[in-house]
Structure formats: C-alpha cells, structure tokens
Structure 1
Amino acid sequence: MHTTIISAATLQAHLADPAWIVLDVRHELTDPQAGRAAYTAGHLPGAFFLHLDEDLSGPKNGSNGRHPLPDRVSFAARLAGLGVNQASQVVIYDAQGSMMAARLWWMLRWIGHQAAAVLDGGMPGWLAAGGEITSTLPPARNAGNLIAGESLVGSIDAAEVMSNLAVQDKLVIDARAPDRFRGENETLDAVGGHIPGACNRFFRDNLQADGRFKPAAELRADFTALLGARPASRIIAQCGSGVTACHNLLALEISGLPGAILYPGSWSEWSSDPARPVATGN
C-alpha cells in the first residue's frame, strides 16, 4: 500500500494492474477549464479526470470559501462511479507541483481511504522519466464499492480557529506565497493578509528544483524549525481555499510528523466575514 507519494517508475510497473486507478486533477486557478483541456490533449494511460471545482469542491454560498468541501457520501459515490473500490490503490497527479493532487490525497483520507498516493513530480516528472501519455479516453470501469468511512484526518471550522486565537493552543501554518501571506499582491481573495498568529510555510518550499518532494529528513527539519516543541497534532494547516494547505499536510506525513488538521475554508472563508481579525506583514 502506498499512502504518501509514489515514483514514476513504480507507477509504470502497475499501470495495467486493475487494482490500481490513476486520477488526473490538473487545474489552473485563473483558467478553470485548462485542466480538462490538458487532459483531453494528453494524459497518463488509463487515467480519469476530476475537476477541482466540480468534483473536489462543494457548493459555495459566499461565506464558505472558494473551494468548500463537498458532501462526503456524494464524493465517495463519485469516485466509486469511476471504479474506485475499498481496496483500490489510487494514484493522483497534476502539473502544478502536486498542489491539486495533495488536495485529493487528503480528501481520500477524509473519507477513510488510506491507499492513496501522489505521483511524485506529477506530469512533468512522468514525462522526464520517459512515461507515455495518450489522448485516448480510458474505457469505463465497473462501478466500485468505495463508500465514505471513518475519517483518517482531522479538520477545524472558522469558529474553532477563532477560539484558538485567544488560547494559541494550535499553530496555524499558512501555505500561501509569502507576499500573499503579508497581505501584498492579493488577486484571488477580496481581502489581503493572514490569520493573526499564523506563520508562513509556502507549499513550494516542500519541493526540490525538479518538482519532486524533498527527502523526508529535510522536510522534517524544516517543519521542526517551525514547530519547536509542538507536536504535529497542534498544527492547523491553512491556505487560500483549503487546497495548498493539503500540500503541507502531505509533506508532514512524508516527514513522519502526522496528525495536523486542515482548516478547509482557509483564508477565502476567514476573510469573508469583516468581524474576523486580519493581520498583515510578517
């Protein structure tokens, strides 16, 4: 069972294995149709496409963020419709530094499915390793038996994050780029800044120059420097809309520091209510 990341070579050896299923979640936040177009032009053999807005997010109401989580039962049914079974090994990839793939990785754990791994290096890594791509759509699979079970991960809502401001029991780690964390160059959300008391860990700092994750020991050293004596169970992972925060959660898992929780609404939800405090700068 692969539960964090997987190499292109390992996936290549299992592409024809019916117990494995590959999911393509390429997406551009500024061009929501780009991922589907990229999939149509060429994807890993047998891969199915899922859309961040349509499949990995629920309905927006103006105050629950840009990518609220969908209904767990409906989400599991969507995956089962693609052929995902309780025993399936799921492999996920994108072309955006694994930021979208990490979101689906976390969501699979959220519905209780542990055998989920991100293709290390994504589509660029696959191509660099000589992997084949095709524009042929995969044949439909028989419906799988995946159902939403007991969650393997934790999450927190805005009210709980607000309560934490007073006690500072948990450390909020913001995965956005440093300029957005400081409240500069905000182009996605109406308000710039960050949750008071949060620290910044840009998700791309989890990657090497080739787009693959840093070695576990290096990631552990990076996060330990942020955490100090805190255990990972006292981390709230947050970003703009609950997507790249999952990249930090995956990096923590790779590094052997499990137990951090996600604030799914993240900054896009937090900043939608003017009563919630906002900090800027470092």
Structure 2
Amino acid sequence: MSYGTLVSSAVLADHLFDPGWRVFDCRHQLNDPAAGSRAYATAHLPGAFFLHLDQDLSGPTNGRNGRHPLPDPLLLADKLGAAGVALDTQVIAYDDAGGAFASRLWWLLRWLGHDRVAVLDGGIDRWLVEGRPLATDSPSSSPATLEVDLRAAVTSSDAVLASLGQSGFCLIDARAPERFRGENETLDPVGGHIPGARNRFFRDNLDVDGCFRPAAELRREFLALLAGSPPEQAVMSCGSGVTACHNLLAMEIAGLPGARLYAGSWSEWCSDPARPVVCQAPPA
C-alpha cells in the first residue's frame, strides 16, 4: 500500500525501518532559518534525514523571484536520490508546524512526478504525545536514482496577471487574514494581496490537535471558496509558495485535485511596483 496525502504516526511507526520508506525532517522557522537544523541535531524521528527549506527545498533568490523560488528539479532529485529515494520509495515528510513546511516537500515531489509521498499527520508533536521514540544520529543510505517527470503544476506572475478578472479563475491566498489585509507585514516590503484573491488561512485546515480536519469538512469549505470554479482553474499562493502547498494538500485530501501553485506568490508579486495591489490596512 502507498500513501499519497497523509500518514498517521501509528502507520509510520510500523514502517519506520522499512527499506522502501524514507522520512524527512522539514522543520523550519521563517524568522530563524537555522532553527530547524538545530532542532534536528537535538532530536528527530529515527532514520529521518533533514532538508532545509532555504537550502534544499528552494532555489536561489534574485530579488524578483520571491523569497522561496522553486529549486532546480534535477538538483532536488539528486539530493533525494542521495538519501535513497527512487520512484518506488514511500517518502514521509514531517515538521512541527502542522505540515506548513512538510507540505512543501510533498508538493515538490509530486511536481517531480513522484506520487508516493505523504505528510505525517500531526507531525513530530503528535509523535511525541503518543510517546514514540526519537534519535540523534544522522542516517546514511545507499544512493538511488530518482527520475524526474516534471508536471505542469506551476503558474507564473504573468499568467496570474493575465487571468485576473477572468471568469472561473480562482486565486486563493494561504496567509493569515491580517497579512492578507496588509496589516502587520514583517516579511515582505509591501503589504496587501493580489486583486481578486480569496483568503484561506492554511491553519484553518487543521483541528485543535494540529492534525488535518476530516476530508468532508475540507471539501465543503473549499467548494464554497471555489464558488463554482473547477479546482483545475484554481491557483494557490501565500507569502512565498510554501504554505500555499498546505492548501494544495488539503484540496487533495478533500478530493479536489488539479489546482496549481503560484510559486513566487506575494513576495514575487510585490517586487514589481507595476503589478496591482489591494491593501485594506489603513496607511501608516
């Protein structure tokens, strides 16, 4: 059996040392980029490899392509292959933020053409609540080859701009409501959102325990948000193309596949003053 959206800690515990499975620690803090690697060095799930959001799951920035541009797909495939990931490997990603960063690896692998990837529901926090073990050693693996079959799952700022106002186009922003309105913006130089965007805070996908809510609830809420637009015409954005993947995962859980990622998201969009902006916050 393979897993393509979520996996429970109980299932992962049963497969923790399965040679056909690979686990990746994706913990990260936007305001402290070294926090994830420190946490990993302190303790992590047994056998887990570490991937850094900035260094492994993103490409170089140039001031115009957002804070977390997509990595080179072949370089990412090589890094995953070095950890033993092949096309038939079951990959599990986890973090300590409700899947906010683990879902980025989930989406990236699907972009590469690898469907056997899931997020650990509840992350390391759920794992610890259930009294499961941690480790401190760094794992090793025989290298594998991960072949890339890149999918057309990404859209560009030009494509978004050309689609604004078109019937059926649905742009969904995963940032917190206050940042969506342009309030308390501390990560990007401009506050606000893309005209016509609808707000769906990624944390609304989670229950009080930090696990994903039932598929039926997610489906009902995303269908209301789509308002008749087919999922294939939806585009997910956020601040930099990271938590937008959380909404993409939630839609997949809800049985609404096909939406695309605007990888540059707000941080790319607002880097060009010619692009239109909506800011509901009062001027400072």
Counterpart-to-counterpart distance in 2, 1:136 and 1:105: 24
Q: SS at the partner of 2:164?
A: helix
Say whether the 8 Å CA contact 2:112–2:148 is kept in structure 1.
yes
Counterpart-to-counterpart distance in 2, 1:150 and 1:199: 28
Match for residue 32 of structure 2? 31
Q: Once the two structures are aligned, what percentage of the paired residues are identical?
A: 57
Counterpart-to-counterpart distance in 1, 2:200 and 2:208: 17
Match for residue 86 of structure 2? 85
Q: SS at the partner of 1:106?
A: helix
Say whether the 8 Å CA contact 1:9–1:129 is kept in structure 2.
no
Say whether the 8 Å CA contact 1:172–1:237 is kept in structure 2.
yes
Counterpart-to-counterpart distance in 2, 1:128 and 1:248: 25
Q: SS at the partner of 2:36?
A: helix
Map 1:240-251; keep pairs closer than 5 Å: 240-251=239-250
TM-score with structure 1 setting the length: 0.97
For 2:253, the aligned partner's letter is: I
Counterpart-to-counterpart distance in 2, 1:50 and 1:150: 20
For 2:90, the aligned partner's letter is: Q
CA displacement at 1:168 relative to structure 2: 4.5
CA deviations 1:79-126 (Å, max 9, x no partner) are 101111111000000001100000000000000000000000001011
Q: SS at the partner of 2:61?
A: coil
Map 1:129-278; keep pairs closer than 5 Å: 129-138=130-139, 140-151=140-151, 154-278=153-277
**How many residues in Structure 1 have an aligned counterpart in Structure 2?**
280
Counterpart-to-counterpart distance in 1, 2:192 and 2:277: 6
Match for residue 124 of structure 1? 125
Q: SS at the partner of 1:91?
A: strand
Counterpart-to-counterpart distance in 1, 2:279 and 2:64: 21
Map 1:29-108; keep pairs closer than 5 Å: 29-108=30-109
CA displacement at 1:234 relative to structure 2: 1.3
Counterpart-to-counterpart distance in 2, 1:118 and 1:34: 20
TM-score with structure 2 setting the length: 0.97
For 1:252, the aligned partner's letter is: M
For 1:147, the aligned partner's letter is: E
For 2:166, the aligned partner's letter is: V
Match for residue 4 of structure 1? 5
CA displacement at 1:236 relative to structure 2: 0.5
For 2:63, the aligned partner's letter is: G
Across the aligned residues of Structure 1 and Structure 2, the Cα RMSD in angstroms comes to 1.0
